[in-house]
Protein backbone atom coordinates (compact mmCIF):
# COMPACT_ATOMS: atom_id res chain seq x y z
CA UNK A 1 0.00 0.00 0.00
CA UNK A 2 3.05 2.24 0.14
CA UNK A 3 2.48 5.60 1.78
CA UNK A 4 -1.30 5.56 1.38
CA UNK A 5 -3.24 7.52 3.99
CA UNK A 6 -6.11 5.39 5.24
CA UNK A 7 -9.56 6.72 6.05
CA UNK A 8 -10.40 6.08 9.68
CA UNK A 9 -6.88 6.68 11.03
CA UNK A 10 -6.88 9.04 14.01
CA UNK A 11 -3.97 11.09 15.35
CA UNK A 12 -3.03 12.12 18.86
CA UNK A 13 -3.54 10.38 22.18
CA UNK A 14 -5.48 7.12 21.62
CA UNK A 15 -8.16 5.84 23.96
CA UNK A 16 -6.58 3.89 26.81
CA UNK A 17 -8.90 0.93 26.38
CA UNK A 18 -11.55 -0.61 24.19
CA UNK A 19 -14.35 1.29 25.92
CA UNK A 20 -12.41 4.50 26.62
CA UNK A 21 -13.17 7.86 25.04
CA UNK A 22 -11.05 9.45 22.31
CA UNK A 23 -9.99 13.11 22.39
CA UNK A 24 -13.43 14.09 21.05
CA UNK A 25 -15.21 12.33 23.90
CA UNK A 26 -16.40 9.48 21.66
CA UNK A 27 -16.21 5.72 22.16
CA UNK A 28 -15.61 3.33 19.26
CA UNK A 29 -17.80 0.25 19.73
CA UNK A 30 -17.77 -2.71 17.31
CA UNK A 31 -21.20 -2.67 15.70
CA UNK A 32 -21.77 -6.33 16.48
CA UNK A 33 -21.43 -5.62 20.19
CA UNK A 34 -23.70 -2.58 19.97
CA UNK A 35 -26.48 -4.33 18.05
CA UNK A 36 -29.84 -4.30 19.81
CA UNK A 37 -32.00 -5.67 17.00
CA UNK A 38 -32.69 -9.28 16.16
CA UNK A 39 -31.27 -10.79 13.02
CA UNK A 40 -27.89 -10.83 11.34
CA UNK A 41 -25.91 -7.60 11.32
CA UNK A 42 -23.40 -7.17 8.52
CA UNK A 43 -20.42 -5.64 10.31
CA UNK A 44 -17.61 -6.84 8.04
CA UNK A 45 -17.03 -6.29 4.34
CA UNK A 46 -14.18 -6.62 1.86
CA UNK A 47 -13.57 -3.90 -0.72
CA UNK A 48 -10.80 -4.37 -3.28
CA UNK A 49 -8.99 -6.77 -0.99
CA UNK A 50 -9.24 -4.61 2.12
CA UNK A 51 -11.35 -5.80 5.06
CA UNK A 52 -13.53 -3.20 6.77
CA UNK A 53 -15.19 -3.48 10.17
CA UNK A 54 -18.27 -1.49 11.14
CA UNK A 55 -18.01 0.56 14.33
CA UNK A 56 -20.48 2.75 16.16
CA UNK A 57 -18.80 6.01 17.09
CA UNK A 58 -20.77 6.88 20.19
CA UNK A 59 -20.40 10.56 21.03
CA UNK A 60 -22.09 12.72 23.68
CA UNK A 61 -24.60 14.13 21.17
CA UNK A 62 -24.68 11.57 18.35
CA UNK A 63 -24.01 8.01 17.24
CA UNK A 64 -22.57 7.30 13.82
CA UNK A 65 -21.68 4.12 11.97
CA UNK A 66 -18.14 4.19 10.55
CA UNK A 67 -16.49 1.57 8.35
CA UNK A 68 -12.85 1.30 9.45
CA UNK A 69 -10.33 -0.54 7.27
CA UNK A 70 -7.92 -3.11 8.62
CA UNK A 71 -4.54 -1.39 8.58
CA UNK A 72 -1.20 -3.15 8.96
CA UNK A 73 0.97 -1.91 11.78
CA UNK A 74 3.62 -0.74 9.33
CA UNK A 75 1.14 1.26 7.27
CA UNK A 76 -0.22 2.80 10.45
CA UNK A 77 3.35 3.82 11.26
CA UNK A 78 3.75 5.29 7.77
CA UNK A 79 0.64 7.39 8.34
CA UNK A 80 2.21 8.79 11.51
CA UNK A 81 5.53 9.27 9.70
CA UNK A 82 3.83 11.40 7.05
CA UNK A 83 2.55 13.69 9.82
CA UNK A 84 5.93 13.78 11.58
CA UNK A 85 7.72 14.83 8.39
CA UNK A 86 5.45 17.86 8.15
CA UNK A 87 7.03 19.10 11.40
CA UNK A 88 10.60 18.92 10.12
CA UNK A 89 11.42 22.38 8.79
CA UNK A 90 14.75 23.33 7.14
CA UNK A 91 17.22 24.50 9.80
CA UNK A 92 18.05 28.14 10.34
CA UNK A 93 21.63 28.87 9.27
CA UNK A 94 23.72 30.74 11.82
CA UNK A 95 27.34 31.61 11.12
CA UNK A 96 30.15 33.73 12.51
CA UNK A 97 31.69 35.54 10.74
CA UNK A 98 28.44 36.34 8.91
CA UNK A 99 27.83 34.60 5.60
CA UNK A 100 28.56 37.77 3.62
CA UNK A 101 31.85 38.46 5.44
CA UNK A 102 33.74 35.19 5.69
CA UNK A 103 37.52 35.24 5.67
CA UNK A 104 40.03 32.74 4.28
CA UNK A 105 41.87 30.78 7.00
CA UNK A 106 39.58 32.09 9.74
CA UNK A 107 37.38 29.43 11.35
CA UNK A 108 33.69 29.99 10.65
CA UNK A 109 31.27 28.83 13.34
CA UNK A 110 28.03 27.23 12.14
CA UNK A 111 24.90 26.41 14.10
CA UNK A 112 21.15 26.08 14.03
CA UNK A 113 18.58 26.86 16.69
CA UNK A 114 18.43 24.23 19.47
CA UNK A 115 14.63 24.53 19.23
CA UNK A 116 14.86 23.16 15.68
CA UNK A 117 17.18 20.33 16.71
CA UNK A 118 14.58 18.51 18.77
CA UNK A 119 12.62 15.27 18.66
CA UNK A 120 9.11 15.07 17.19
CA UNK A 121 6.56 12.27 17.66
CA UNK A 122 3.12 11.53 16.26
CA UNK A 123 0.80 8.71 17.29
CA UNK A 124 -1.65 7.20 14.81
CA UNK A 125 -4.39 4.81 15.90
CA UNK A 126 -7.40 2.89 14.68
CA UNK A 127 -10.14 0.96 16.46
CA UNK A 128 -10.11 -2.80 15.87
CA UNK A 129 -12.58 -5.49 16.97
CA UNK A 130 -10.18 -6.42 19.80
CA UNK A 131 -9.28 -2.90 20.91
CA UNK A 132 -7.26 0.12 19.90
CA UNK A 133 -4.13 -0.40 17.78
CA UNK A 134 -1.62 2.44 17.73
CA UNK A 135 1.87 3.28 16.53
CA UNK A 136 4.07 6.15 17.57
CA UNK A 137 6.54 7.38 14.96
CA UNK A 138 9.42 9.54 16.17
CA UNK A 139 11.90 11.71 14.27
CA UNK A 140 15.14 12.21 16.21
CA UNK A 141 17.84 14.66 15.05
CA UNK A 142 21.17 12.85 15.03
CA UNK A 143 23.57 15.25 13.33
CA UNK A 144 24.06 18.63 11.74
CA UNK A 145 25.89 18.43 8.41
CA UNK A 146 27.67 21.37 6.77
CA UNK A 147 28.64 21.30 3.11
CA UNK A 148 30.77 24.40 2.71
CA UNK A 149 30.42 24.71 -1.06
CA UNK A 150 34.19 25.07 -1.36
CA UNK A 151 35.51 22.85 -4.17
CA UNK A 152 37.13 19.64 -2.92
CA UNK A 153 35.82 19.95 0.64
CA UNK A 154 34.19 17.05 2.46
CA UNK A 155 30.94 17.42 4.43
CA UNK A 156 31.49 18.28 8.08
CA UNK A 157 29.33 16.31 10.51
CA UNK A 158 28.48 17.88 13.88
CA UNK A 159 26.91 15.91 16.72
CA UNK A 160 24.44 18.52 17.87
CA UNK A 161 22.98 21.87 16.79
CA UNK A 162 26.28 23.74 17.09
CA UNK A 163 27.03 26.65 19.41
CA UNK A 164 26.06 30.24 18.54
CA UNK A 165 29.03 32.60 18.54
CA UNK A 166 29.34 34.99 21.46
CA UNK A 167 31.96 37.77 21.56
CA UNK A 168 32.60 36.85 25.19
CA UNK A 169 34.18 33.61 24.02
CA UNK A 170 37.23 35.44 22.68
CA UNK A 171 39.03 35.12 19.36
CA UNK A 172 40.83 31.90 20.30
CA UNK A 173 37.67 29.94 21.04
CA UNK A 174 36.78 27.02 18.79
CA UNK A 175 33.44 25.43 17.99
CA UNK A 176 32.49 21.79 17.63
CA UNK A 177 30.95 22.83 14.30
CA UNK A 178 33.56 25.09 12.70
CA UNK A 179 34.83 25.12 9.12
CA UNK A 180 37.86 26.97 7.77
CA UNK A 181 37.73 28.11 4.15
CA UNK A 182 41.03 27.81 2.25
CA UNK A 183 39.98 29.73 -0.86
CA UNK A 184 38.29 33.00 -1.62
CA UNK A 185 34.83 32.65 -3.10
CA UNK A 186 36.14 34.63 -6.06
CA UNK A 187 37.18 31.28 -7.55
CA UNK A 188 33.49 30.54 -8.04
CA UNK A 189 31.83 31.91 -11.23
CA UNK A 190 29.13 33.47 -9.05
CA UNK A 191 31.60 34.94 -6.58
CA UNK A 192 29.91 32.92 -3.83
CA UNK A 193 30.04 29.40 -2.40
CA UNK A 194 26.71 27.56 -2.10
CA UNK A 195 26.86 26.25 1.47
CA UNK A 196 24.28 23.79 2.76
CA UNK A 197 23.32 23.15 6.37
CA UNK A 198 21.29 19.99 6.99
CA UNK A 199 19.73 18.13 9.88
CA UNK A 200 19.71 14.35 9.55
CA UNK A 201 16.68 12.75 11.20
CA UNK A 202 16.39 9.11 12.25
CA UNK A 203 12.80 7.86 11.91
CA UNK A 204 11.58 4.95 14.02
CA UNK A 205 8.25 3.57 15.23
CA UNK A 206 6.86 1.42 18.03
CA UNK A 207 3.42 -0.10 18.50
CA UNK A 208 1.19 -1.45 21.25
CA UNK A 209 0.40 -4.50 19.12
CA UNK A 210 4.00 -5.60 18.79
CA UNK A 211 6.80 -4.75 16.46
CA UNK A 212 8.73 -1.67 15.65
CA UNK A 213 11.30 -0.68 13.08
CA UNK A 214 13.28 2.14 11.58
CA UNK A 215 12.28 3.96 8.41
CA UNK A 216 14.58 5.76 5.94
CA UNK A 217 16.35 8.84 7.27
CA UNK A 218 14.98 12.27 6.44
CA UNK A 219 17.24 15.22 5.69
CA UNK A 220 16.13 18.86 5.87
CA UNK A 221 18.42 21.39 4.22
CA UNK A 222 18.97 25.13 4.01
CA UNK A 223 21.15 26.78 1.35
CA UNK A 224 23.26 29.82 2.15
CA UNK A 225 25.41 31.92 -0.21
CA UNK A 226 28.85 32.38 1.37
CA UNK A 227 31.09 35.28 0.40
CA UNK A 228 34.62 34.50 1.49
CA UNK A 229 37.32 37.14 1.17
CA UNK A 230 41.03 37.36 1.84
CA UNK A 231 42.70 39.71 4.29
CA UNK A 232 45.03 41.91 2.28
CA UNK A 233 48.40 42.67 3.82
CA UNK A 234 49.34 46.32 4.03
CA UNK A 235 52.99 47.09 3.50
CA UNK A 236 54.36 50.35 4.90
CA UNK A 237 57.83 51.77 4.62
CA pair distance 186, 76, nearest whole angstrom? 51
CA pair distance 200, 236, nearest whole angstrom? 50
Do 187 and 198 touch, CB atoms closer than 8 A?
no
High-pLDDT (> 70) share of the chain, %: 91
Collapse the DSSP code of 172 into the 3-class scheme (helix H, G, I; strand E, B; otherwise coil) and give the result: coil
Q: What is the average pLDDT value for the chain, to the nearest integer?
A: 89
Higher pLDDT, 222 or 21: 222
Q: Give the predicted TM-score (pTM) of the model.
A: 0.85
pLDDT for residue 95 is more than 50: yes
pLDDT for residue 1 is more than 50: no
Band the pLDDT of 35: cuts 50, 70, 90: low
pLDDT for residue 39 is more than 80: no
Amino acid sequence: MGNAIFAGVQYGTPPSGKSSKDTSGCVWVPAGEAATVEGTLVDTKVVKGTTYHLFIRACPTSNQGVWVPTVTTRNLALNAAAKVKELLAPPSFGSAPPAANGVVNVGMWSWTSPAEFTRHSITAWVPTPTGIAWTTTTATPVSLVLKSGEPGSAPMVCQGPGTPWNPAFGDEAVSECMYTYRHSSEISPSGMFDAQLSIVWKIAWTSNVGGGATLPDVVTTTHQAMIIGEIQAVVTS
